[in-house]
Structure formats: C-alpha cells, structure tokens
Amino acid sequence: MEAQFPDVRSMVAALKPSYPVYCLRPEVLRRTTERFLELFPGRVLYAVKCNPHPRVLRALYEAGIRHFDTASLPEIALVRESFPDAGAYFMHPVKSRAAIHTAERVYGVDTFIVDHAEELVKVLDETGGGEGVTIVVRLKTPPIEGTFYHLAAKFGADQDDAAALLREARSRGCQVGLAFHVGSQCLVPGAYRQALGIVGEVLEKAKTPIQVLDVGGGFPVQYVGTNMPPLEDYIAEIEDGVKELKLRRDCVLMCEPGRALVADGVSLVVQVQLRKGDQLYINDGIYGSLSEMVTAGLKLPARLVRLKGKPSEQMRAFILNGPTCDSLDVLPSTFDLPEDVGEGDWIEIDRVGAYSHALASRFNGFYPETLVAVNDKPIGAG
C-alpha cells in the first residue's frame, strides 16, 4: 500500500522530496465517482487511458466502477487481473488480430468497437462472431467549438458506412451498437444532443435495432479560467436526445468518462531547484506530468509549500521551467506564487489526475513515479 499522510504539508515534512510526488486523494475520487454513477442513467465505463495507475483504478472500483473502457491488451490485462468481476471493453477502433484473439479467448472480452469494414472482418475472424459478441460502430461527429481535443479526425465512420457496418455485423449474428465521442473536455452540453441526432439518422438508414448506445466521454473538469456547465446539463441533453431515438427497451446506454472522474483526485508536488529572476526551475515539466498545459492549454491552480518561515504575502507571476535540457520544456502559462519563492521550496500543482502519469515519458532520465495518499482538500475546495 502507498504511504498515507493527513495532508500535503505533512508529506513534504516527512519525505522532503527532491523528486515529483503525486498526491492521491481517495476521498475526492470516491465522491466524484459516486456522483457520476448516481447522475448518469446507464452504464459507466472508466477510460483507463486517462490514468491507469493501479491505485487510481482501485479507488474507482471501490467507489462503484465495474466497467472499464480499455484500448489495448495491457489495459485489458490490468483490469481483468485486478478486478476479475469487472468488465473490459475493447474500445480502440484499430486492433491487431493477436490482440483481438487474446482479448476474447484469454480475458473474456466480448465487446469490440469498429469504424471500418476491414476492422469488422478482423474481429469476426478472430472471435467467430455470433450472439456472444457485441460490435459497436463508432460514428464520426463534427468538430465542436468548445472542446479541447476533436477526437473524430482520426476515428469514426460516416453515416452510410456506419449503417452498412451495423447491417453486416447483425447479419453475422452479433449484438450491435453505436458509439461517438464529442471531444475531450467538452464545454457544450448540446454537443451530445447533436451527436444523438446523427445516431438517429444512422438508425434510419440501417433499419437495424441496436443493443448498445455509447455516448463516449468528453465530460469536463473545472480548470483555472474554465467556464464549465454543471454535469446535470450534460445528463439532461443526453436523456432528451436518447428519448427522441425511441430505442429498444433493452438497449444499454453507456458512457466513457476519464477526466471527469479523476482530474480532481490527484495533485503534483514539485520542488524548486533554481530561481533566475521570475523563472523557476522545477523537477517536472511538459515531458512528464504537465504536457496538457501545452497540448490543451490547461491552466492549473497551484500553491507554495514551505516548511520553515512564512512566505511573502505579495504574489508574483513566475515562469516554470521543466527539468530536461530541452529549451521547449517551459510551461506556457505563468503561476502566481509568493514573490520570495526560491530554491528548496515546494509547489503543489492541482487537478493533474488526468493525462499526467499516463503521458509521462523518461526523456533525459526524468520520470515522475512516486505516489502517496493524502486526506486534505484540493486547492480551492471549501
């Protein structure tokens, strides 16, 4: 079991870490997950790619998650070997034949997503098809202004192709479904209603009833400067859109949240190793836990942790430089910190539970890997 501390300050006092430390807040994960499970009117699949740390997965499982969106054989193995009673769904639209075969034969996976006729052939060849296999066809959706990442540029079938895939899978005796993804960190609840309208058009073309409807992920988190609608608004748009489809009563409604479940549950403690004027050199950066500050333009809350002496009450904007020798390893937005921050101080950067540990590289020999549990509240929490 990981080390546990009452709060971040006590962790710093005990470890005095010269290395980055992830601070997991299991109680935050529990509350966030239980609320999502209560509000969403269907099956909730956690998107493992968002944060596959075993302790994070355990916290989600303990909070009630029993279904996991997995995109590779290692993710499937991690879920099925950690939680034998949990479901793993192979939700990557492009899979090797060996991975399909092993997922089905070794790990009992029976749900596979496709967006192309040749991918459907691969899945049918390796599984044999039939009623015990569920084929979910991923639809292409238009770009939505107000999302951090548009996820239909790489994957997704157009309407005619999706309808044909549904018919072909059904003709092979499979259970069938449709899926879409409106984009990561979607700030427009109506995007789900719009995508569900496309689902209705495909169903009209296919003339094939579906057993699964997956509305994907994209549910957002409150970052600095984010104007985020409440989760209830997203659920209302989904419920209204689904009602208009007049689906079979036994159709399973699913979603794939990642960021929305884990972002608030982990913070990162880094140490200042050098100060040059308004520039601070820290021991994590864009090649480690903080790449989304570049790729998604995230702005993250932060606070100073100092063991001896009281920090200045005057605040100043600082540039944070990562630890690698690459001059690109500079965080794109500044952090407001006490003006006397200096070498040896620690900084807690919050809301890094999503796409931090999962995206960290070993470039230049730097790699954040220490995780502890803390029981205090996140930055800005009441």
- 81 & 191 share domain: yes
Q: What is the mean pLDDT of residues 285-297?
A: 95
Same structural domain for residues 224 and 270?
no
Which of 202, 228, 261 is the last residue in one of the domains?
A: 261
Mean pLDDT of 152-168: 94
Average pLDDT, integer, range 290-311? 95
pLDDT at position 29 is 98
Predicted confidence at residue 1, as pLDDT, reads 59
Does 46 map to a domain? yes
β-strand pairing of 266-276 with 279-282:
antiparallel
Of 138-142, 150-154, 344-348, the poorest mean pLDDT is in 150-154
Mean pLDDT value of segment 92-113: 98
329 occurs within a structural domain = yes
pLDDT digits (tens, 9 = 90+) for 163-211: 999 999 999 999 999 999 998 899 999 999 999 999 999 999 999 999 9
Give me the pLDDT at residue 145, please. 74
E strand map for the chain: 4-5, 21-24, 43-47, 67-70, 87-90, 111-114, 134-138, 175-179, 212-214, 252-255, 266-276, 279-282, 302-305, 315-321, 335-338, 346-349, 370-374
Percentage of residues in the chain with pLDDT exceeding 70? 98
Position 146 scores a pLDDT of 67
- In this prediction, residue 143 has a pLDDT band, given cuts at 50, 70 and 90, of confident
Residue at 381 is within a domain: no
CATH number at residue 65: 3.20.20.10
Collapsed DSSP state (helix, strand, coil) of residue 90? strand
CA dihedral 67, 256, 208, 142 (to 10 degrees): -170
- Same structural domain for residues 242 and 95? yes
Domain residue limits at 84: 26-261
Query: Can you give the pLDDT at residue 311?
Result: 96
Residue 380 has pLDDT above 80, yes or no: no
Across residues 211-218, what is the average pLDDT?
97
Using 50, 70 and 90 to split pLDDT, how confident is the model at 127?
Answer: very high
pLDDT greater than 60 at residue 376? yes
| The pLDDT of residue 130 is above 90 | yes
User: Do residue 357 and residue 229 come from a single domain?
Assistant: no
In a domain, 164, yes or no: yes
Q: What is the mean pLDDT of the chain?
A: 95
Please say if the pLDDT value at position 148 is more than 80.
Answer: no
Sign of dihedral through CA atoms 70, 73, 77, 78? Answer: negative
- Same domain (yes/no): 225, 297: no
In this structure, are 195 and 210 located in the same domain? yes
Residue 234 pLDDT:
97
pLDDT tens, 311-336?
999 999 999 999 999 999 999 999 99
Torsion of CA 200, 203, 207, 213, to 10 degrees: -120
pLDDT class for 270, splitting at 50, 70, 90?
A: very high
231: in domain: yes
380 within some domain: no
Q: Could you give the number of structural domains in the chain?
A: 2
Cβ pair 280, 334 in contact under 8 A: no
Question: Is there a single domain that holds both residue 294 and residue 207?
Answer: no
* CATH number of 11's domain: 2.40.37.10
Domain annotation covers residue 247 = yes
Least confident of 19-23, 76-80, 375-379: 375-379
**pTM listed for this prediction:** 0.96
Whether residue 201 is found in the same domain as residue 125: yes
Do 357 and 289 meet the contact criterion of CB atoms below 8 Å apart?
A: yes
Could you say which of 211, 233, 261 is where a domain stops?
Answer: 261
What pLDDT score was predicted for residue 65? 98
110 found inside a domain? yes
Q: Which of 205, 240, 261 is the last residue of a domain?
A: 261
Do residues 174 and 233 share a domain?
yes
**Nearest CA-CA partner of 315 in 296, 295, 341:** 341
Q: Are residues 219 and 93 in the same domain?
A: yes
> Do 13 and 33 reside in the same domain of the chain?
no
Calculate mean pLDDT across residues 268-276: 98
pLDDT(382) > 60: no
Q: CA of 306: how far to CAs of 272, 303, 361, 375, in Å?
A: 11, 10, 28, 19
pLDDT of 112 strictly over 70:
yes
CA angle 288, 291, 295 (to 5 degrees): 165
Residues 169 and 293 placed together within one structural domain of the fold: no
Q: Specify the pLDDT at position 151.
A: 66
**Structure confidence by residue, pLDDT tens digits, 25-59:** 999 999 999 999 999 999 999 999 999 999 999 99
